[in-house]
Amino acid sequence: MIRNMTKTLAGACLMTLSMTLVAVAEPAKPECLAGAKPGGGFDLTCRLAANALLEGKEISKPMAVTYMEGGVGAVAYNHVISKRSKDGNLITAASSGSALLIAQGKFGQYDETAVRWLGALGADYGVLVVAANSPYKTLGDLVAAYKAEPNSFPIAGGGAVGSQDWMKGSLLAKAAGQDPKKMRYVALEGGGAVLTALEGGHVKVGSGDAAEMVKHHMAGKIRILAVMAPERLPGELANVPTAKEQGYDIDWPVWRGYYVGKDVSEEDYKWWTDAFRKVSATPEFAKEREARGLFEFTLIGKDFEDRVKADVARYKILAKESSM
């Protein structure tokens, strides 16, 4: 009888210990750092994770979203590395733009190996657009015309020279066999300004992202010639062909992801990756992602780390070719 009671008590203790370990694994003060002002892409990325983890009951308390402006994420990157490299409570928003800036050496002394990459939970995709009354109906039409007269094609993007929009434009120039360095690029403040320039006839081509251009495409104000995705996007863009369909190896996902400090414990890292895997597989998350204008793009743990490293390597080649 005593032996059975001892076994029962031992089993209860083990169960209690197991429950305690599970509770401890959850971050005590979950926080997402956005490396910019409120309202931008990093903010969107943080709120995607915050809502998904809370609604999926992976965290028991709301995740704090904090902001650290500077260098399009560079200040936040350096802060995490130097001040919070062991903090298992903290995840930081990142994007393919972060990988591009790392490739260009704009994050200071640190490269892509200075943090641990957690996962990507969604993506937008690059697009090339023209005005609604443009004579160019396909990407092939545009490439042929650009090849014949590259100086006649100012390309507008919502970012400076060397930005993602500039890089997308450079891919058009390369497809036409032209030097990207000689591209007539017009740097504007965001996608809205690009649309205005297109509609006003001030530029012939716009470089942007699918989510910000789709409504204007559907309204007949502009024409999306190609999406830079591996396959056609769902919904309103289902009838727009990819660049690859049209014979051009142009791929530009604008992924939204997260990293943690280099020195977080394996237990903390595993907790975050497991939580991301669970929530990303639910129909509720799919709705959350769609509501934020993102498409499916889920890479967790090592798969995401490998993708980031591959992107940085690719962007280094593009930057070198473009003398960036």
**Residue 310 burial (C-beta neighbours within 10 Å; 0-12, 13-18, 19+):** exposed
pLDDT digits (tens, 9 = 90+) for 88-101: 999 999 999 999 99
Q: Nearest 10 degrees: CA dihedral of 128, 134, 138, 139?
A: -40
pLDDT digits (tens, 9 = 90+) for 251-263: 999 999 999 999 9
Region 233-239 average pLDDT: 93
Query: Does residue 5 carry a pLDDT above 50?
Result: no
Query: Does residue 280 carry a pLDDT above 50?
Result: yes
Residue 221: CB atoms within 10 A of its CB come to 15
Query: Does residue 10 carry a pLDDT above 50?
Result: no
- Residues 245 and 139: their CA atoms lie apart, in Å, by 10
pLDDT digits (tens, 9 = 90+) for 168-195: 999 999 999 999 989 999 998 888 889 9
CA torsion through residues 192, 196, 199, 204, sign: negative
Query: Does residue 242 carry a pLDDT above 50?
Result: yes
- The CATH class that applies to domain 30-123+254-321 reads alpha beta
Region 128-150 average pLDDT: 96
Closest residue by Cα to residue 118 from 49, 28, 41: 49
Residue 164: CB atoms within 10 A of its CB come to 23
Q: Where are the domains positioned within the chain?
A: 30-123+254-321, 125-237
Q: What is the pTM assigned to this prediction?
A: 0.84
pLDDT digits (tens, 9 = 90+) for 284-298: 999 999 999 899 999
DSSP state of 242: B
- Residues 140 and 176: their CA atoms lie apart, in Å, by 9
- Residues 72 and 99: their CA atoms lie apart, in Å, by 11
Query: Does residue 221 carry a pLDDT above 50?
Result: yes
Q: How many residues does the chain have?
A: 324
Give yes or no for a contact between 298 and 65, defined as CB atoms under 8 angstroms apart.
no
The fold for domain 125-237 equals D-Maltodextrin-Binding Protein; domain 2 (3.40.190)
Whether the domain at 30-123+254-321 and the domain at 125-237 fall into the same CATH topology: yes
pLDDT the model gives residue 16: 42
**Residue 234 burial (C-beta neighbours within 10 Å; 0-12, 13-18, 19+):** exposed
Region 85-114 average pLDDT: 96
Query: Does residue 309 carry a pLDDT above 70?
Result: yes
pLDDT digits (tens, 9 = 90+) for 51-67: 999 999 999 999 999 99
In this prediction, residue 159 has a pLDDT band, given cuts at 50, 70 and 90, of: confident
Region 120-143 average pLDDT: 96
- Residues 102 and 176: their CA atoms lie apart, in Å, by 28
Kindly report the average pLDDT of the chain as a whole number: 90
pLDDT the model gives residue 266: 96
pLDDT the model gives residue 22: 39
Region 157-163 average pLDDT: 88
For the chain, the distance separating the N- and C-terminal CA atoms, rounded to the nearest angstrom, is: 78
**Residue 276 burial (C-beta neighbours within 10 Å; 0-12, 13-18, 19+):** buried
Helices (H), the chain: 2-25, 41-55, 74-83, 96-103, 139-148, 164-175, 191-199, 210-218, 266-280, 283-291, 302-321
C-alpha distances in angstroms, 107 versus 70, 86, 286, 299, 312?
10, 20, 32, 23, 12
Region 3-24 average pLDDT: 43
In this prediction, residue 7 has a pLDDT band, given cuts at 50, 70 and 90, of: very low
**Cα 234–Cα 235–Cα 236 angle in degrees, nearest 5:** 120
Query: Does residue 15 carry a pLDDT above 80?
Result: no
pLDDT the model gives residue 8: 45
pLDDT the model gives residue 324: 62
Query: Does residue 272 carry a pLDDT above 90?
Result: yes
